[in-house]
Amino acid sequence: MLRKLLSLFVLLLLAIPLAAQDTSSDLIAYFNQQLYILEGDALVPYDTCMPDEEIVGQFRVSPDGNRILISTFPKIISEALALVGSLGDAPYGLNFWICDTTTDTLERIIVQPDADEAFAGEMPAISGVMSQVSWSPDGTQLGWTELRFEDSSQSVVTFDIATGETSSFVIDVPLAPFPAPPELIAWTDEGMLLWVFEFDEETFFNIETLVVVDSATQTISASHEILNGGETDDFYNQRELVHTPDGLKYAIEFQNQGWVLVDIATGEMTQTSGRLARAIPGNPESIELQYEIDFSYNYNWQFNNTESTETVLLAYPPYRIALSAAGTEVAYADSTLHIVDRNGTVRDIANSDGFADDFQAQLIWGASVLIFVELDETELAPPASCEGAPPIQLVVGDTGRVIAETIPNRIRSLPSTEGAIVGEIPGAGEFVVRGGPVCAEGYTWFQIEYNSIVGWTVEGTGENYFLEPVSALP
């Protein structure tokens, strides 16, 4: 449960748009406080869309793909941070800019009070604590939530881009047990979706609710309880707004229960099996960039290579990977920027080595949306064996061990010999099987957890086993 609270708190502070629809046609890269645009096989500084303030790292692309919302520290805040080093728990607001990529123009649209004043030792007044900012479906408005520290009131705020006018209304929802407004997940045709967290001090239960707000009538149109339980009850690993054949759903992966799809209109929850993917809507030729999150919250992406039966595997955080507008290429950045096509051919982008040490580096590209890929019975059934390896013995959820007394098994970040080595299981060491199997390179791979290390290791190859179930021991 602590992990869940920390995840929420980090999301509210950084407001990284994990489920944002990246719809711009040009690849835009951000690293080392500079925006770049891809021209050919090199990155060119995109100075026309560079604010003259410190970029925080929140990029939100409009539904039409032509505008990017950029958040920055007001100059007074940047100066305070430079002089003091930290503002502790003192709240502060952000300024917001819109970059129009069709006209290459930049406009500051939301400005905090005293934003351009010199820091005189006291924090400036703020208009409110902003949650993640979301575009309206038609791209004419922005929305967010605010918390007033003076009276603990919580409001939904909308901003009209054409007129610059702001309106707000108070919402009657429980106050979360940490200083943040309710999280605005997305703004859809159904309404503005808020994630509301409450702690019941009598039952010691955590109550989590999906609230739908109608901005036109300024009312709560629906409220669906998602979770009501204590520390030992089930909780979620991830949650995203997804496109399905039946329309928009709210997908939640619970720790024990697995995937559940929530109907936004009715609150009906349907348990299913599947995984998330990014794809280009209405394009059947688009790559389906599927991904799962492991027990250490690492992202594992994959898509099928059309030239062979091989699966392209990528392990990058969501802000360092993007799908092209045509759906035919995937960009990803480690120390440098790479682009891989659907045939598995990779090209490296020049002058992109600035990604190496910048944890805020991000990629903005494509017209992808999140979809939920439901697994059929064939996909759900584990293989009896992998080509080039002995029959599978390990079972997800059970305990296994390394057979050799002295030879360890390497743990890798991916089910591939190309995956980084993240640890090893010593000879005769026991572990818990978390996922798999995956067949690759003539090996059978399982995702395991050993001494808090989560990764992939080989069960066997040829006629040889390196691992065995503990239950099979004499």
Q: Quick one: three-class SS letters along 169-222?
A: EECCCCCCCCCCCCEEEEEECCEEEEEEEEEECCCCEEEEEEEEEECCCCEEEE
Burial class (CB in 10 A: 0-12, 13-18, 19+), 446: buried
CATH fold, domain 382-472, is: SH3 type barrels. (2.30.30)
Alpha-carbon Rg for the chain, nearest whole angstrom, is 24
Q: What is the pTM of this model?
A: 0.77
Token pair of 253 as six digits: 């992966």
**106, 99 in Cβ contact below 8 A?**
yes
Q: Can you list the residues of the chain whose pLDDT is less than 70?
A: 1-24, 86-91, 125-129, 231-232, 295-296, 306-309, 377-382, 471-474
Classify the phi-psi angles of 106: left when phi > 0, otherwise alpha if psi is within -120 to 50, otherwise beta: beta
**453, 423 in Cβ contact below 8 A?**
yes
Which residue, chain included where needed, has tokens 């891989």?
Answer: 340
Which residue, chain included where needed, has tokens 């898509």?
Answer: 303
Token pair of 73 as six digits: 């520290």
- Residue ranges per domain, the chain? 382-472
Angstrom distance (rounded) from CA 257 to CA 106: 46
- List the beta bridge partners of residue 370: 278
For residue 2, what pLDDT is reported? 32
pLDDT single digits (tens) 372-428 = 988 776 555 667 888 889 999 998 888 999 999 989 999 988 888 878 888 999 999
Classify the phi-psi angles of 309: left when phi > 0, otherwise alpha if psi is within -120 to 50, otherwise beta: alpha
Phi and psi at residue 423, to the nearest 5°? 165, -170
CA separation (Å) from 423 to 325, 409, 411, 412, 452? 38, 9, 5, 7, 10
pLDDT single digits (tens) 383-398 = 788 888 999 999 888 8
Q: By C-alpha distance, which of 439, 411, 446, 406 is closest to 425?
A: 411
List % helix, strand, coil for the chain (3-state, nearest 5): 10, 45, 45
